[in-house]
Amino acid sequence: MNGERRGQQEKLLLEPRLDELLEIMKEAEVRALGEPPSIVVPLVLSLVAGR
């Protein structure tokens, strides 16, 4: 029971982050159009770290 409740709390903590991550990915996708992966990966990481 306790483990189940903790799982629900963790899920509640993660859900807003998933929305945020989707926004970051959309932003990164727009910025990364036409860029090589060597530039895209650090870009996405910097966007994630900056939030």
Q: What is the pLDDT of residues 20-30, one digit of tens each?
A: 888 888 877 77
Using pLDDT thresholds of 50, 70 and 90, give the confidence band for residue 9. Answer: low
* Residue 1 pLDDT greater than 60, yes or no: no
Give the whole-angstrom CA distance, residue 11 versus residue 15. Answer: 6
Angle between helices 2-32 and 37-49 (to 10 degrees): 130
User: Is residue 33 helix, strand or coil?
Assistant: coil
The structural domains of the chain, with segments of one domain joined by +, span 2-49
Cα 4 off chain centre by: 25
Give the whole-angstrom CA distance, residue 51 versus residue 33. Answer: 21
Question: Considering all CA atoms of the chain, what is the largest pairwise distance in Å, rounded to the nearest integer?
Answer: 50
* Predicted structure pTM score: 0.36
